[in-house]
Amino acid sequence: MAESFQSVWMALLLASITMMLLQPQQGQAESIEEFGEKLKQKCNTFEGKHRGSKISCDTFWKMFSSAFVNKDPSKITPADYDNLVKAVSIEIPQNKLLLYSGTGQLLPDNPDTYVHVWQTIYGILGNFPLWCVMKNGKEVFSEGCDSKNPKCRDCSHKPADEYWAAVSAGFAKAASGSVIVLLNGDLGYMDDSYFAKYEVPNLDFSSKGVTALRVLMVNKIDADSCKKANLIKLQEDMKEHKNLYHCRYILETEFKKLSAVDWWNKAKSG
């Protein structure tokens, strides 16, 4: 009888441990200083591989962190990162800017044809966990940034969101000539995307700015995704400049085989 009870107890214990392991882990907090050291390491690695960004990694961290440290996260806006975006000037050669929405996994590494955000110092946050902070807190959470985390009940508003909003707007303002944007053929133009909210409104459609917006729809199946209904909303958002809109579509399998310089020419007209 004792052995039977022990077996049942052990089974229940193992089941309990298994359930605990399967539960989503609560966000782990780290100090602002620890978070800063990680970011500066990424910055130094970037600087070692690329041309200088005209700002030291220590300065980048100070300007970056000043946007959210000791602040109420619910009151942080993209404007809090303006000083950083202005300090690290975004310089994109004409006809070289690459924007994207829902296609981040398809971005090329070679900057010779197009330049996207991950190829700049701002992109060091790209593979960094989305961070959030407690109200006036001294710690950063890299996971569990929602009200379900009892340690971070005020973390639902993430400074990371405002950072990417500011950077997206800065990239759009730096655009000139022909701009290409990679859109997901299934999703198309999403109203809640950074592209829709911060990039399209900040594109300078003029003879000295953006002269064409080339939308490349990347599809899982061979279909004319340029006829997707929400692309009409994109043209409406371009207002009087919708004549500068162009759309083509391409299969993802073919897209991956091509070099960036051939994307547009090999794509089908919508």
Q: Which is higher by pLDDT, 219 or 32?
A: 219
pLDDT classification of 62: cutoffs 50, 70, 90 = very high
Residue 81: per-residue pLDDT: 94
Look at residue 9 and tell me whether its pLDDT is greater than 70.
Answer: no
pTM, to two decimals: 0.83
Most confident residue range from 10-14, 49-53, 74-78, 195-199: 195-199
Average pLDDT, stretch 60-83? 89
Most confident residue range from 28-37, 73-82, 130-139, 243-252: 243-252
The three-point CA angle 53-55-57 to 5° equals 100
Q: Which domains does the chain have, with CATH numbers?
A: 25-269 (1.20.82.10)
C-alpha distances (whole Å) from 111 to each of 51, 166, 168, 245, 246 are 12, 22, 18, 24, 23
Average pLDDT, stretch 238-249? 97
pLDDT in tens, 117-142: 988 889 988 866 677 777 766 778 76
pLDDT classification of 148: cutoffs 50, 70, 90 = low
Which three-class secondary structure state does DSSP give residue 122? helix
Average pLDDT, stretch 168-191? 96
Average pLDDT, the chain: 84
Amino acid (1-letter code) at residue 170:
G
Residue 155: per-residue pLDDT: 62
Sheet containing 29-31: which strands, arranged edge to edge? 29-31, 139-141, 132-133
Residue 23: per-residue pLDDT: 39
Residue 33: how many other CB atoms lie within 10 Å:
11
pLDDT in tens, 14-46: 444 343 333 334 456 788 898 899 999 999 988
% pLDDT > 70, the chain: 80
% pLDDT > 90, the chain: 56
Look at residue 246 and tell me whether its pLDDT is greater than 50.
Answer: yes
Look at residue 183 and tell me whether its pLDDT is greater than 70.
Answer: yes
Look at residue 269 and tell me whether its pLDDT is greater than 90.
Answer: yes
pLDDT classification of 4: cutoffs 50, 70, 90 = very low
Look at residue 5 and tell me whether its pLDDT is greater than 50.
Answer: no
Average pLDDT, stretch 232-244? 96
C-alpha distances (whole Å) from 107 to each of 161, 208, 211 are 20, 27, 23
Distance CA(267)–CA(249), nearest Å, equals 5
pLDDT classification of 146: cutoffs 50, 70, 90 = low
